[in-house]
Amino acid sequence: QTSQMVDAPMKAMKGTPTLYDRLGGQPAIDAVVDDFVANVAADKRINKFFANSNIPKLKRLLGEQICAGTGGPCTYTGRDMKTTHARMGVTERHFNALVEDLVMSLDKHKVPQKEQQELLGVLGPMKSDIVTR
């Protein structure tokens, strides 16, 4: 009785596409990340932060992080968000600028509103570890 009540929702979940799937898997995520990082590089509000960054490495880690955070088959191998962004002095304005750059690339790649909101729901909670002033 109880096990059936617990099993039924589990069965319903089986085959339900993850956010990772609905975003289009790794190729689609990598395309968004590519475009997103290009937007950031062109964004005078925040591009100075990335002047000395290894951009291919950053793209790889963002792709991993999004994959892992959306139910994809990846392990994030980068540093934690607090350590990574410590002493950068990122403000809420900087953070919002970066989110704007991400949304531009999600729109460009025709990611539906529902999936955009879900992705922002995954990344948004990282704000408190990234914004330090």
Q: Give the interface with ligand HEM as residue ranges (CB under 6 A).
A: 46, 49-50, 53-54, 58, 61-62, 65, 78-79, 84-85, 88, 90, 94-95, 98, 123, 126, 130
Asked if 6 contacts 52 with a C-beta cutoff of 8 angstroms, the reply is no
Compute the least distance from the CB of residue 77 to ligand HEM, in Å. Answer: 8
The Cα–Cα gap between 124 and 126 comes to 5
Query: Please, which residue, 22 or 36, has the CB nearer to ligand HEM?
Result: 36
Compute the least distance from the CB of residue 39 to ligand HEM, in Å. Answer: 12
Asked if 68 contacts 75 with a C-beta cutoff of 8 angstroms, the reply is yes
The Cα–Cα gap between 122 and 80 comes to 15
